Amino acid sequence: MVMCQYKIFLSATDNKIADKSKLRVDLYGNSKIKDIPQLKNFNIIYLSKGHEDLISLKGKLIYRKVRYIQIFKK
34 backbone dihedrals φ, ψ, rounded to 5°: -65, -15
pTM for the model: 0.86
Which domain does 26 fall in, by range? Answer: 6-73
Q: With contact defined as beta carbons under 8 Å apart, do 54 and 65 qualify?
A: no
Q: Residue 51 falls within a domain, yes or no? A: yes
Q: Residue 15 falls within a domain, yes or no? A: yes
Query: What's the chain's average pLDDT?
Result: 91
Q: Residue 1 falls within a domain, yes or no? A: no
Q: Residue 47 falls within a domain, yes or no? A: yes
> pLDDT at position 57, please?
84
Q: With contact defined as beta carbons under 8 Å apart, do 14 and 22 qualify?
A: yes
Number of structural domains, the chain? 1
Q: Residue 66 falls within a domain, yes or no? A: yes
**What confidence tens digit (pLDDT) does each residue in 19-50 have?**
999 999 999 988 999 999 999 999 999 999 89
- 12: which DSSP letter? T
Radius of gyration for the alpha carbons in the chain, expressed in angstroms and rounded = 13
> pLDDT at position 2, please?
47
Q: How far apart are CA 63 and CA 57, in angstroms?
A: 10
- 17: which DSSP letter? -
Q: Residue 35 falls within a domain, yes or no? A: yes
